[in-house]
Structure 1
Amino acid sequence: MIRYIDTRGLGERPVTFTEAILHGIAPGGGLFVPERLPQFTVEELVALAAIPYHERAARIFTAFEPDLSPDRVAAIATQAYGRNFAHPEVAPVRRVGENRFVLELWHGPTLAFKDMALQCMPLLFSEALERAQRAGITDLDYLILVATSGDTGVAALNGYADRPHTRIVVYYPDAGVSAVQERQMTTQPGDNLSVFRVAGNFDACQSAVKAVFDDGAFAEELAREHRLALSSANSINWGRLLPQVAYYASAYADLVRGGHVIAGDPIDVCVPTGNFGDILAGYYARHAGVPIRRLLCASNTNNVLADFIATGVYDIAARDLIKTPSPSMDILISSNLERLLYDLTRNTERVRGWMADLQRSRAFSVDRHTHQLLRQQFTGAWVDNDTCLQTIGEVYGQYGYLIDPHTAVAWRVAEDLRSDAPVLVVSTAHWSKFAPDVLRALHGIAADAPLPADADQLALLDRVVALAPNEAVPPQLAAVRERPIRFDTRIAGTREALEQSLRDWLSSRVS
């Protein structure tokens, strides 16, 4: 059985897969990582092409040796990747141009790649919780806290809605998500959930949520007053990352099946990156045997990761978060980078020091050897706002293929760093979630130029379709238009404000 250890070395012992999912975050603020990775042969990867996606995912999950039976893992994967996805292949690979391929991860119920993990993770979480309760390990239910820059919150609410023994609260930054993302969250049905708008940007929101997790007195209060323990559905939870590893293996199998890649030949993968979870899953896939030559880290104007890869210095002390057309990447503190730093060094003391420096002075520098290892694994580049929108227009004009701003960032970086190898561009969201900026792109309007004052952002979907007649508004969004707004409370971006919002919500449920 593969067990999970703490990146900061503060855990008393390695934990099982189900324990890692339940806890979410390790004691002292570290993250859980597997002690080792399984190894897939090229033959095993190619064999995935002959089976449907849910079976592919089950094989990958089982190889990580969770403390669940293979039959139970298979049942969970079957439920997670079924009719809730609009495409029969779940995560299809589309050829768009010469030696360029797009991995479409937005066919799920909320139209973003987060569905790939968050249709599965709640099932894994429920299984882990039921096992723990049956074994007498805990008699508590769980409260899931989520900080979101957009898509995670939408997908987590959809995945956890009305799950037994679980409640979920999502916090999103004021004016930091798209209108469609906000509408999806604030209208989400379900009796076990709530949503709050937080003053400030995503980093402030995420830091406040982390501070709640670090507050031992509040955890005791939740257990005493409400019989609840805390966990997370952000990508700090290993249950988010494992399902993402699966689609990299699946994509490679599809490229071989389609005759685009000779089995065993490497590909480049370009990932639009904010919190570093998606590209980290690609890194784990690579080290588990998927033939990935280069991992291209695509940043928007908030290019701290591109700078870090280039220099080995992670410095946000003098940076302000910039609002971009790709809001899910508007992040300065990339939580999953901690996992990579541990994997590169296997040194918990160094990781603790770097994370302490980041918290204290908002900057840290890695040593020369670690930076060399980083550069061997990743290449980073970034795209400004106008170039992002220009790319959307160019891709549609040349290929009749409409992409969202996050995918456009990855597309442009993939073009700028192009080599002879096939490149897989990871497409993380459907264009319809970002209609205002897609409309700007199709009209050639600058990113900072205003749209007509009477332009309702949901109504802009129809304007985009009028310009791109081969596209349509997905039925998932058509339904969202008709749902009433349920949540419209704005709070301060502090630990104290978040904790009080939880007290008030939980008390209102009791009364």
Structure 2
Amino acid sequence: MRYISTRGQVPPIGFIDAILMGLANDGGLLVPEHIPQVSEETLKQWQQLSYPELALEIFALYVEQEIPREDLKKLVNDSYSTFRHEEVTPVRQLDDSRYVLELFHGPTFAFKDVALQFLGNLYAYVSKRTDSIIHILGATSGDTGASAIEGVRGKDGIRICILHPHQKVSKVQELQMTTVDDANVLNLAVEGTFDDCQRIIKELFADVEFKHKYHLRAINSINIARILAQTVYYFYAYFRLAEKGQAGQVSFSVPTGNFGDIFAGYLAKKMGLPIHKLILATNENNILARFIKEGVYQPGDFKGTYSPSMDIQVASNFERYLFYLYGEQADTVTSLMAQFKAEGRIAIVGDVLKQVQADFAAYSVENEECLNTISDYYEKYDYLLDPHTSCGAAASDKLAQSGETAIVLSTAHPAKFDEAIRLRGIGQTYPEPIQALFEKPQFQTVVGGTNEAIQKQLEAFF
């Protein structure tokens, strides 16, 4: 399998080079040269597989022989042996047509563990195999940072620096990152928003000379390995419903801010998984919902919400969708992204907008509605949602149709967002690993939200 840039100016490269490059050298995002097609017969065979076995089969399609199958199998098994549930991503039934896909059973209690445990092990494997230095640079709105750090802390040949918006993540998210005192980990608390952190990351990666000098590698969902890992649980959840005879019309409701999680579902559908509908759930930072409904992609005013990991205005994976929306025409994508950089907006109409609305449904959840949904599900189902999953549940309740089975992606354990849940008078007991964080010292550096300030820290650390 070869990988190409959405902007068409990078020669096709292999899987390992793609995960090392992260952001394409022309400023675009890497995508597979072709999307593997999975037949109905193969889907039936895969239904019998465990989660690690299924992950191995899907990864093998995108890696082919670049990593020997036995090595790939070990990477997969090592990555998912760290999860607290034997199914890795179990599906929880709430009623006849409503399910929750629990993605929070990894080491940091967040869905990011599904991809980042694998990517951390993959980077360590590549570093050892190629005798290369891996310097990871990433930005987080809360969960990616902790998952990425957990995936690579203490590993030989790897250093990691994570940027997070200062005082704009939950306390547990902050503690999961900043209580790590490993020599290969640097936490930078940036004065600004997540969009500022993400912009700095993309601009530093776009500086090819700086990127190569300091051996920078990406851990954010701009890295194609992240997306590939996340496609697995769409297949796995669908198969669990098929076992129950409920795989007629299956829709997924996905809380999203950076468009990575739902793009993985879009990729799974293009591979041949018969997903009926992909429901995109946002909070009040609703640039993606507005695009799907109105055809205008334009940041609005930043709003702090009870679901801070989705407090994002510019979605880094959106460009990958544009590539497929416009028939894999790199020139068109390049033009649209240049227009967005110059004018701050992209507008589409006509048949293109109709295609967007065929691909996705969308709903934007207000702050109070988010909290109300937490209360409603707790009372009705005795099931506690975190505020991000609550957005997915609210969107599903609004948009799922009669006769449709809806799977809501649960992206984090509710203990990570107790501040919001307490507002509804709901008490919970922290899992022991989270409770223990409050007794530990923190290690972080507060920095200004400029490229220069971050660059100075990186030069000292790397």
Taking structure 1 as the reference length, what is the TM-score of the superposition?
Answer: 0.87
In the aligned structure 2, how far is the partner of 1:295 from the partner of 1:7? 23
> Could you list the per-position Cα deviations for residues 74-118 of structure 1 after superposition, in whole angstroms to 9, with x for gaps in the alignment?
111110011x11111110001012311100000000000000000
Task: Tell whether the 8 Å contact from 1:46 to 1:256 is kept in structure 2 after alignment.
Answer: no
Within the candidate set 489, 492, 496, 2:452 is matched to: 496
> Could you list the per-position Cα deviations for residues 118-160 of structure 1 after superposition, in whole angstroms to 9, with x for gaps in the alignment?
0101112223333444xxxxxx412111111000011001001
Task: Name the aligned partner's letter for residue 244 of structure 1.
Answer: Q
> Could you list the per-position Cα deviations for residues 316-367 of structure 1 after superposition, in whole angstroms to 9, with x for gaps in the alignment?
2xx2210000011000000101001001211111111211122222211235
The 5 Å alignment of 1:110-149 reads 110-133=108-131, 140-149=132-141
In the aligned structure 1, how far is the partner of 2:154 from the partner of 2:17? 22
In the aligned structure 2, how far is the partner of 1:164 from the partner of 1:29? 29
Q: Percent identity at matched positions?
A: 39
In the aligned structure 2, how far is the partner of 1:126 from the partner of 1:24? 15
Task: Tell whether the 8 Å contact from 1:354 to 1:365 is kept in structure 2 after alignment.
Answer: no
Counterpart for residue 48 of structure 1: 46
In the aligned structure 1, how far is the partner of 2:201 from the partner of 2:146? 17
Within the candidate set 331, 337, 342, 2:312 is matched to: 331
> Could you list the per-position Cα deviations for residues 3-30 of structure 1 after superposition, in whole angstroms to 9, with x for gaps in the alignment?
110001111x111111110111101211
Compared with structure 1, are the counterparts of its residues 442 and 391 closer, same or farther at alpha carbon in structure 2 (3 Å cutoff)?
Answer: farther
In the aligned structure 2, how far is the partner of 1:473 from the partner of 1:145? 30
The 5 Å alignment of 1:420-435 reads 420-435=403-418
Task: Tell whether the 8 Å contact from 1:142 to 1:230 is kept in structure 2 after alignment.
Answer: yes
Counterpart for residue 477 of structure 1: 434
> Could you list the per-position Cα deviations for residues 172-209 of structure 1 after superposition, in whole angstroms to 9, with x for gaps in the alignment?
01222111100111102422110010011111111011
In the aligned structure 1, how far is the partner of 2:211 from the partner of 2:270? 36
SS in 2 for 1:29: coil
Task: Name the aligned partner's letter for residue 223 of structure 2.
Answer: N
How many residue pairs end up in the alignment? 459
Task: Tell whether the 8 Å contact from 1:47 to 1:253 is kept in structure 2 after alignment.
Answer: no
Counterpart for residue 419 of structure 2: 436
Task: Name the aligned partner's letter for residue 476 of structure 1.
Answer: P
Counterpart for residue 155 of structure 1: 147
CA drift at 1:73 = 1.3
**Structure exhibiting the larger radius of gyration computed from Cα positions:** 1
Within the candidate set 144, 147, 167, 1:175 is matched to: 167
Counterpart for residue 394 of structure 2: 412
Task: Tell whether the 8 Å contact from 1:21 to 1:128 is kept in structure 2 after alignment.
Answer: no
Task: Name the aligned partner's letter for residue 237 of structure 1.
Answer: N
Task: Name the aligned partner's letter for residue 261 of structure 1.
Answer: Q
CA drift at 1:233 = 0.2
In the aligned structure 2, how far is the partner of 1:19 from the partner of 1:131? 13
The 5 Å alignment of 1:319-468 reads 319-345=300-326, 346-419=328-401, 420-442=403-425, 464-465=427-428
Asked whether 1:269 is paired with 2:252, we answer yes
Task: Tell whether the 8 Å contact from 1:161 to 1:189 is kept in structure 2 after alignment.
Answer: no
The 5 Å alignment of 1:218-233 reads 218-219=210-211, 223=213, 228-233=214-219
Counterpart for residue 108 of structure 1: 106
- Greater mean deviation of Cα atoms: 117-126 or 474-483: 474-483
Counterpart for residue 224 of structure 2: 238
Task: Tell whether the 8 Å contact from 2:25 to 2:208 is kept in structure 1 after alignment.
Answer: no
In the aligned structure 2, how far is the partner of 1:132 from the partner of 1:366? 44
SS in 1 for 2:109: coil
SS in 2 for 1:50: coil
In the aligned structure 2, how far is the partner of 1:160 from the partner of 1:131? 16
Task: Name the aligned partner's letter for residue 248 of structure 1.
Answer: Y
> Could you list the per-position Cα deviations for residues 380-432 of structure 1 after superposition, in whole angstroms to 9, with x for gaps in the alignment?
11110000001000100011000100000000000000212101100000000
In the aligned structure 1, how far is the partner of 2:7 from the partner of 2:249? 33
Task: Name the aligned partner's letter for residue 305 of structure 2.
Answer: T
In the aligned structure 1, how far is the partner of 2:128 from the partner of 2:457? 27
Counterpart for residue 192 of structure 2: 200
In the aligned structure 2, how far is the partner of 1:36 from the partner of 1:128? 24
Compared with structure 1, are the counterparts of its residues 367 and 9 closer, same or farther at alpha carbon in structure 2 (3 Å cutoff)?
Answer: farther
In the aligned structure 2, how far is the partner of 1:442 from the partner of 1:241? 36
Task: Name the aligned partner's letter for residue 10 of structure 1.
Answer: Q
In the aligned structure 1, how far is the partner of 2:174 from the partner of 2:76? 29
Task: Name the aligned partner's letter for residue 8 of structure 1.
Answer: R
Asked whether 1:32 is paired with 2:30, we answer yes
Asked whether 1:505 is paired with 2:444, we answer no
SS in 2 for 1:145: strand
Task: Name the aligned partner's letter for residue 70 of structure 2.
Answer: D
In the aligned structure 2, how far is the partner of 1:147 from the partner of 1:360? 24
In the aligned structure 1, how far is the partner of 2:395 from the partner of 2:374? 13
Task: Name the aligned partner's letter for residue 371 of structure 1.
Answer: L
Task: Name the aligned partner's letter for residue 309 of structure 2.
Answer: S
Task: Tell whether the 8 Å contact from 2:172 to 2:416 is kept in structure 1 after alignment.
Answer: yes
Task: Tell whether the 8 Å contact from 2:23 to 2:206 is kept in structure 1 after alignment.
Answer: no
Task: Name the aligned partner's letter for residue 220 of structure 2.
Answer: N
Task: Tell whether the 8 Å contact from 1:314 to 1:365 is kept in structure 2 after alignment.
Answer: yes
Task: Tell whether the 8 Å contact from 2:23 to 2:202 is kept in structure 1 after alignment.
Answer: no
Listed as ranges, the gaps of 5+ residues in structure 2 are: none
In the aligned structure 2, how far is the partner of 1:399 from the partner of 1:42? 34
Asked whether 1:96 is paired with 2:73, we answer no
In the aligned structure 2, how far is the partner of 1:392 from the partner of 1:46? 36
The 5 Å alignment of 1:52-67 reads 52-66=50-64, 67=66
CA drift at 1:478 = 2.3
SS in 2 for 1:15: coil
SS in 2 for 1:442: coil
Counterpart for residue 307 of structure 1: 290
Q: CA RMSD in A?
A: 1.5
CA drift at 1:295 = 0.5
Task: Tell whether the 8 Å contact from 1:212 to 1:498 is kept in structure 2 after alignment.
Answer: no
Within the candidate set 186, 190, 197, 2:178 is matched to: 186
In the aligned structure 1, how far is the partner of 2:87 from the partner of 2:208? 44
Listed as ranges, the gaps of 5+ residues in structure 1 are: 134-139, 444-463, 466-471, 507-511
CA drift at 1:479 = 2.8
Counterpart for residue 86 of structure 1: 84
In the aligned structure 2, how far is the partner of 1:35 from the partner of 1:107? 33
Task: Tell whether the 8 Å contact from 2:252 to 2:406 is kept in structure 1 after alignment.
Answer: yes
In the aligned structure 2, how far is the partner of 1:42 from the partner of 1:442? 47
